[in-house]
A and B are shown apart, each in its own frame.
Chain A
Amino acid sequence: MMRKPLTIAMPKGRIFEEAAELMKQAGYDLLSNQEESRKLILEFPEQNLRIMMAKPMDVVTYVEYGTADIGIAGKDVLLEQDRDVYEVLDLGISPCYIAVAGLPNQPLSKIAPKIATKYPKVASDYFREQGEQIEIIPLNGSIEIAPLIGLADRIVDIVSTGRTLKENGLVEYEKIVGITSRLIVNPVSYRLKSKEIDEMVNQLSEVVGEDYV
């Protein structure tokens, strides 16, 4: 029997390795044609799977529009983009958290404090909840520079070991939210391919020890 393959959007890079390992334990071997590592679409006809290699930030987009049925995305991206996808399983991989950091002993400026971040939505939601009106300075990387050169009072960024902060003389002020990678599903695929998807979710949840009841 051959059916249309289940399309999975996978983040390139480090998360791919971890996710592929989980998939392997769940019975889906995605590492067999690694030699074609420049290819963005990998076919696994014998498992009826198709893998799309995407930038981690874009996985959610592919899944929302239905070009991928399933995706693996960080909770940080899900929080920031607030897209219409189903979040069905916590894979528990790539654990880290989003935190507020800055120079030590530096109180938040009273007038229009500035926050540099690549998570504008997460940052403004957080400070609004704290009753604090702030101004966001969007950056795409090396966020840690911002407080050092006086561009911002604080940064909001991903912390995994805390080493980057430390080496740049920054301290963590508050932890905002814990982050892991999640299995996400397109709402239509969730219905129309429910058999294949449920099977994958069940297998994966056994591997990650999450009782999906």
Chain B
Amino acid sequence: MAKRLMFEKPLGMRDTLPFFYNQKKQARELLTEEISNFGYMFMDTPILEYYETVGEASATLDQQLFKLLDQQGHSLVLRPDMTAPIARVAASQLKRAEFPLRLAYDGPVFRAQQTEGGKPAQFEQVGTELIGDHSSYGDAEVIALLIRSLQRAGLQDFQITIGHVGYVRCFFKEILGDDDPALTEELMSYLYRKNHVGYQEAVKALPLNEEAKRALMGLLKLRGEDEVFDQSKSLARNQECLQAINELKQLYKILKQYQVEQYVSFDLNLISHMDYYTGILFEGYAPNLGSLLCNGGRYDQLLPSFQLNASATGFAIHLERLVEALAKQSNGDERIGILVDDDTFADGLKQAQDLRQEGKSVLLQHVDQVPDLQQFKAELVEAIDLTTGGGHDA
């Protein structure tokens, strides 16, 4: 291996220069303010943990853990996420505290990268854990808080997709039975990788009747708005599945009360790489950002592995990615334009006002005053042409 040059850093490690530092600081402050307003208490845990405890409890792949030895020869890890350390604290020092616990954190986590650039090995997570509340109100609070925090940080356009691991498991149980757990795992791993081709091939090769295969294929279609709840009923009907769907329905109802339902959609075949999730789980995406912005969900197995019998749910926001998404979003030049003529002015005005209400930047323009329609439309992120000629008369 070549001798390291003076300026080189380990793979995936980055410097935070003053400009980016300030952007991060600003976003972090807004997020933590909103989280505090929901009554969550911030805490911190050590960077180093034992491999045997936090390292094994975390769902991070072994090859992604940074490992080292202490003076006594114990294996240590740089914490790969914050959920496992907080579970450790909740199950020990905070065991006698008043439950439900509302805890929050903000700090660096570490995941070793195998490949090339674009993926940091150290990044900052801001997140929450709600421990000891297993109700839908708990699930909804965490998702609503996530949405409110992102809004507070200034993010305008994003989407939270919600799924239910419990649903997927009992769905497979109804159709495939209990005899072959390896098969269920195989199908779940196709779903996790969103390898629909592999999933469909595997399903086709199964010795099942047509109806069962159709149901398995139909699972891929269960995504969209709340209509998926009804669609799901034609595929699997056992008690556990219905229970899971009811949980999602209840969640949706409460999210509507929080008035955040426009940010959520559902995907009943969503599966996360964090395999400690057991119930409702979610992922968040923002435009112009190639990868996940945030994720979270309900986990019932993690706390028992630290000898505390409790259910918990939480989210984590990838702070650097949030800053990137904020930097990329409309800084005033992403405008929607509505073209009108005398007949459609009233209609255009109403649409413009509705869109402005949603926080969009909208201009309303009478078509007679535009010298070059094509040029005009090219400057806009979206052009809504309400003129009778549909723009072709120019």
User: Is there a chain A Cβ closer than 8 Å to B287's Cβ?
Assistant: yes
| Residues on A with beta carbons closer than 8 Å to the beta carbon of B221 | 213
| Residues on B with beta carbons closer than 8 Å to the beta carbon of A186 | 290
User: Are the C-beta atoms of B381 and A87 separated by less than 8 Å?
Assistant: no
**Which of B180-188, B190-198, B311-319, B340-348 binds A?**
B190-198
Q: Name the CB-closest residue of A to B374.
A: A45
**Which of A62-70, A103-111, A148-156 binds B?**
A62-70
Task: Report A174-205 residues with CB < 8 Å from chain B CB.
Answer: 182, 185-188, 190-192, 194
Knowing A2-B382, A4-B381, A213-B221, say if A66 contacts B291 (CB, 8 Å). yes
User: Is there a chain B Cβ closer than 8 Å to A139's Cβ?
Assistant: no
What are the interface flags for A113-144 relative to B under an 8 Å C-beta threshold, 1 for contact and 0 otherwise? 00000000000000000000000000000000
User: Is there a chain B Cβ closer than 8 Å to A173's Cβ?
Assistant: no
User: Are the C-beta atoms of A3 and B197 separated by less than 8 Å?
Assistant: no
What are the interface flags for B373-392 relative to A under an 8 Å C-beta threshold, 1 for contact and 0 otherwise? 00001001111110000000
CB distance from B161 to the nearest CB of A (A): 6
Bound-complex Cα distance A182 to B200 (A): 13
Q: Name the CB-closest residue of A to B283.
A: A191
| Residues on A with beta carbons closer than 8 Å to the beta carbon of B118 | 65
User: Are the C-beta atoms of A1 and B384 separated by less than 8 Å?
Assistant: yes
User: Are the C-beta atoms of B218 and A84 separated by less than 8 Å?
Assistant: no
Residue tally, chain A, CB below 8 Å to B: 27
Residue tally, chain B, CB below 8 Å to A: 34
User: Are the C-beta atoms of A188 and B382 separated by less than 8 Å?
Assistant: no
Q: Name the CB-closest residue of A to B117.
A: A65
Task: Report B122-144 residues with CB < 8 Å from chain A CB.
Answer: none
User: Is there a chain A Cβ closer than 8 Å to B202's Cβ?
Assistant: no
Task: Report B262-307 residues with CB < 8 Å from chain A CB.
Answer: 265, 283, 285-292
User: Are the C-beta atoms of A66 and B220 separated by less than 8 Å?
Assistant: no
User: Is there a chain A Cβ closer than 8 Å to B217's Cβ?
Assistant: yes
| Residues on B with beta carbons closer than 8 Å to the beta carbon of A59 | none
Q: Name the CB-closest residue of B to A90.
A: B197
User: Is there a chain B Cβ closer than 8 Å to A211's Cβ?
Assistant: yes
User: Are the C-beta atoms of B196 and A87 separated by less than 8 Å?
Assistant: yes
Given contacts A3-B381, A67-B290, A192-B159, 12 further A-B contacts (CB under 8 A): A64-B290, A65-B118, A65-B290, A86-B196, A90-B197, A187-B292, A188-B285, A191-B161, A191-B265, A191-B283, A212-B220, A213-B221
- A residues near B (Cβ < 8 Å) are 1-4, 64-67, 84, 86-90, 182, 185-188, 190-192, 194, 210-213
- B residues near A (Cβ < 8 Å) are 118, 159, 161, 193-198, 200-201, 214, 217-218, 220-221, 223, 265, 283, 285-292, 377, 380-385
Q: List 29 A-B contacts (CB under 8 A).
A: A1-B382, A2-B380, A64-B290, A65-B290, A66-B289, A66-B290, A66-B291, A86-B195, A87-B193, A87-B197, A88-B194, A88-B197, A89-B197, A90-B197, A90-B200, A186-B290, A187-B194, A187-B285, A187-B292, A188-B285, A190-B194, A191-B159, A191-B161, A191-B283, A192-B286, A192-B287, A211-B217, A212-B196, A213-B221
